[in-house]
Structure 1
Amino acid sequence: MRTKNMQSFFRIFLAAIIGIMIGLTFSFDDFFLLEKHESRKYHSLRDEVLDKVHQKYINEINYENKSANIDQIINNLDKYSEYIDASEYENVVLGAKGIYRGIGLKIDQYHNIITNVFSGSPAEEAGIMKGDKIVKINNQFVHDNSKINLRDLIANSKIDTTITISRSSISDDLIFKIKKRNFLLPSTESKVVDSYYCYLKIDTFNNKTKLEISNTVKNNCNSISKIQGFVIDVRDNPGGTLEAAIDVSDLFLKKGVIVSAKGRDNEIIFVRTASENDILYGLPIALIINKNSASAAEIFAGALQDNKRAILVGDATTYGKGSIQEVVPLSNGGALILTTARYFRPSGDPISDIGIKPDIKISYKNTKDLGMKKSETSNKDAYLSNAITLLKNRKNYF
């Protein structure tokens, strides 16, 4: 059965997004709710799909074509709604728990460079390293700026994936045969930069993210007796689950609305507010965004910006995906992913097709305007360096 490909949304992202979980058939990249399975008998899968669409989809749909098949039904919905089979649905459920099936690489699609090898992944165990350049996948050559999707090449491997790479320190190409399996993927990374600032990168929002951040603040950054601020980075973060986005936002807010949502006929579904628990006790936050920050990342950015809890730094407005998808299980083991609501910032402004603008727009061309100095601790990341500069000059911005 041909299905609409939800991943087309993410393929317009830069390579960091395209390769975030290379090797997955379905990527846990989106902003969704998981529905409990309901027992109900239908005459056919097509009837079940149609019934779920009528019940759940954000807009009321009337099909005059009584013989419309599942593809035709789905194609009449928005670009984020689709049908997924049983194996893809399994990956969605695992992804919400922070468990992924794949080989564990993040890849720059346009240059075929491995930008990250996830800890505990099959790729790490095999010996692949950050900075390796992919030459072949399963004996198929790949080239810079190729239209070949590396993700699909690996995802279509039934069991083992053979990857040939070149490494600058070795003259001959290296060949790795890697078997896909499930593994726990951390959703965050952290480090101390410029001695007094804690840097937190959030790659995605899942039900482990809140705990990871709490542990980071407690263990990694609490050792700094004179910590002066936090830099939180959601660049290239494609989203996650609704509850994770709310929970993480709540960690940094003492009061205020986090997010609201409206469903069919513009009916208010919920309004979520902070629980008076700022884990940083008011320390200043610089939040780095880019055009690939989407969905749950935009919930987080909007909550911190509208509540004046962080200053947003970036080179562009965020992606603008302001809708919630619900994963609806089907009797055949597959599922529907249906848009069921749209969410709104604390200000009441929508995010769909608008996105969130940075408070301070920066680029490599104007980094000197903010007094940026090169820093080894920030790994020559201009945006991170600028964020630290803003924190140092916080009297002017906070």
Structure 2
Amino acid sequence: MPHLFRLTSLALALTLLAGAPLLQAAEEPAAATTARDKAPLPLDDLRTFAEVLDRIKAAYVEPISDKTLLENAIKGMLSNLDPHSAYLDVDNFRELQESTSGEFGGLGIEVGMEDGFVKVVSPIDDTPASKAGIQPGDLIVMIDGQPTKGLSMLEAVDKMRGDAGSKIKLTLVREGGKPFEVELTRAVIKVKSVKSQMLDKGYGYIRITQFQVNTGEDVGKALDKLRKENGKKLRGLVLDLRNNPGGVLQAAVEVSDHFLKEGLIVYTEGRIANSELRFSADPLDASEGVPLVVLINGGSASASEIVAGALQDHKRAVLMGTESFGKGSVQTVLPLNNDRALKLTTALYYTPNGRSIQAQGIVPDIEVQRAKLTRERDDESIKEADLQGHLGNGNGGADKPSGSQSGRPARLQDEDFQLSQALNLLKGLNITRGE
């Protein structure tokens, strides 16, 4: 997941955060690493650091404390590693801990950095950002009239943070167009991680907005709910991971495990011992092998890509939509002894087939671009059932005159082209199987 507007959806363990692409450094030979670890401290560089500290204290236009200078130095060390590593002060660390519960203050927008600007990775469903029409890929070029160019991620996040009920103006650029302004009201964001409903008889839909601590359990409950609503085993299921910026690694593993009976789900590789982990599926299949289509797009990042990659590698699902974000690194939150913490990139993750999606993303099996559905009205056309004296149906079926479908309630797939295509694919698969 990215550096988030609300900082992030992390657990205090291995977590996945979307954001700008990360360049992987070449792996060092073990001997070189050992030699470097045993090398003496660079005294000349430390003397330079101390000299700079003294010069700033003595000559800067305003008095500045040692504490401020040292905290700025620490932030500098972390900010120049990669877009996802950061030093978290007391407030930021507390917000990060609170965010894993799915409730936090802000706009409900996940962001990264691109060319010095703040870039929207994904708006979270049912938040001020999504209701205002903010879309993945939008560049935030100004915050309350102040340019974002040159700001660090944390500085931009601090400017967007505020009390619930307060207003903020964002100036956005979409797909190279002209800047436009959006006014939002900050709110306490309560994110429901998992939503589910029936699309048609026999066909269910589960949407995961982000991966929180309880997401795996909630997906299991959603599968049970859909099965009970249908009255028997489902004929097909759509798992919607679009605009899902990621979250807790363990939750991604648990969700994948609901659809797999065996095999590797994901593994991570890093320099420290506990960063090398392997997660495999257990024999239980909560989904009962239901035909599955997974929807992804450019806002699907990190933990979303773990799930999509695992299901694709095991040929358990058909992936549909557009290429995912390409966030393949893992962050570990390392608490410090003063109520502060480091958020440090410690590993890369790999799909079961050994794919790293870092800075590349996952390519769907069937590409379907986002589109707006418009339906032609044919209510005025005359059908046989409209003709006076028409014959009845010999099999006892009811007449269906024109306009008989006009009162049908709106369905989720009627306004979502990608979702309607996923549902059509599931129905087609069942027809070809004779089910």
TM over 0.5, shorter chain: yes
Alpha carbons 2:124, 2:209 under 8 Å: kept = no
Deviations 1:138-158 (CA, angstroms, capped at 9, x unpaired): xxxxxx987334895984435
Alpha carbons 2:349, 2:356 under 8 Å: kept = yes
Shift of 1:248: 1.1
Instruction: Give 2:142's aligned residue.
Output: 148
In the alignment, structure 1 residue 247 sits paired with structure 2 residue 254: yes
Structure 1 residues 185 and 158 mapped into 2: Cα distance closer, same or farther (>3 Å)?
A: closer
Instruction: Give 2:342's aligned residue.
Output: 336
CA distance in 1, matches of 2:210, 2:310: 17
Alpha carbons 1:192, 1:221 under 8 Å: kept = no
SS of the residue corresponding to residue 357 of structure 1 reads coil
Alpha carbons 1:289, 1:313 under 8 Å: kept = yes
CA distance in 2, matches of 1:130, 1:72: 33
Structure 1 residues 239 and 86 mapped into 2: Cα distance closer, same or farther (>3 Å)?
A: same
Structure 1 residues 319 and 212 mapped into 2: Cα distance closer, same or farther (>3 Å)?
A: same
Instruction: Give 2:75's aligned residue.
Output: 71
Residue number among 359, 369, 372 corresponding to 2:365 in the alignment:
359
In the alignment, structure 1 residue 222 sits paired with structure 2 residue 228: yes
Higher CA-based Rg: 2
Instruction: Give 1:323's aligned residue.
Output: 329
Instruction: Give 1:237's aligned residue.
Output: 244
In the alignment, structure 1 residue 26 sits paired with structure 2 residue 30: no
Alpha carbons 1:261, 1:341 under 8 Å: kept = yes
Shift of 1:221: 4.3
Instruction: Give 1:117's aligned residue.
Output: 126
Alpha carbons 2:11, 2:213 under 8 Å: kept = no
Shift of 1:341: 0.8
Letter in 1 for 2:102: G
CA distance in 2, matches of 1:260, 1:81: 21
Structure 1 residues 229 and 27 mapped into 2: Cα distance closer, same or farther (>3 Å)?
A: same
TM norm structure 2? 0.62
Moved more, 220-229 or 341-350: 220-229
Alpha carbons 1:320, 1:355 under 8 Å: kept = yes
TM norm structure 1? 0.67
Structure 1 residues 239 and 146 mapped into 2: Cα distance closer, same or farther (>3 Å)?
A: closer
CA distance in 2, matches of 1:207, 1:31: 7
Structure 1 residues 102 and 237 mapped into 2: Cα distance closer, same or farther (>3 Å)?
A: same
Instruction: Give 2:19's aligned residue.
Output: none
Structure 1 residues 397 and 336 mapped into 2: Cα distance closer, same or farther (>3 Å)?
A: farther
Structure 1 residues 244 and 330 mapped into 2: Cα distance closer, same or farther (>3 Å)?
A: same
**Pairs within 5 Å for 1:1-398:** 7=3, 25-28=6-9, 33=13, 64=42, 65-66=45-46, 67=49, 69-102=73-106, 116-117=125-126, 147-149=141-143, 155-158=160-163, 160-162=165-167, 181=188, 184-225=190-231, 227-264=234-271, 269-314=276-321, 316-363=322-369, 376-394=411-429
Alpha carbons 2:107, 2:184 under 8 Å: kept = no
SS of the residue corresponding to residue 253 of structure 2 reads helix
Alpha carbons 1:33, 1:324 under 8 Å: kept = no
CA distance in 1, matches of 2:162, 2:324: 33
Alpha carbons 2:244, 2:300 under 8 Å: kept = yes
Letter in 1 for 2:103: I
Letter in 2 for 1:243: Q
Letter in 2 for 1:234: L
Shift of 1:203: 0.8
Alpha carbons 2:14, 2:249 under 8 Å: kept = no
Shift of 1:299: 0.6
Q: CA RMSD in A?
A: 4.1
CA distance in 2, matches of 1:264, 1:359: 33
CA distance in 1, matches of 2:325, 2:132: 29
CA distance in 2, matches of 1:231, 1:360: 14
Shift of 1:191: 1.6
Shift of 1:25: 4.1
Moved more, 270-279 or 68-77: 68-77
Letter in 1 for 2:330: I
Alpha carbons 2:334, 2:343 under 8 Å: kept = yes
CA distance in 2, matches of 1:216, 1:350: 30
SS of the residue corresponding to residue 330 of structure 2 reads strand
CA distance in 2, matches of 1:232, 1:243: 18
CA distance in 2, matches of 1:145, 1:353: 19
Letter in 2 for 1:302: G
CA distance in 2, matches of 1:397, 1:265: 50
Alpha carbons 2:6, 2:108 under 8 Å: kept = no
SS of the residue corresponding to residue 246 of structure 2 reads coil
CA distance in 2, matches of 1:376, 1:351: 34
Identical-residue share of aligned pairs (%) = 32
Letter in 1 for 2:142: I
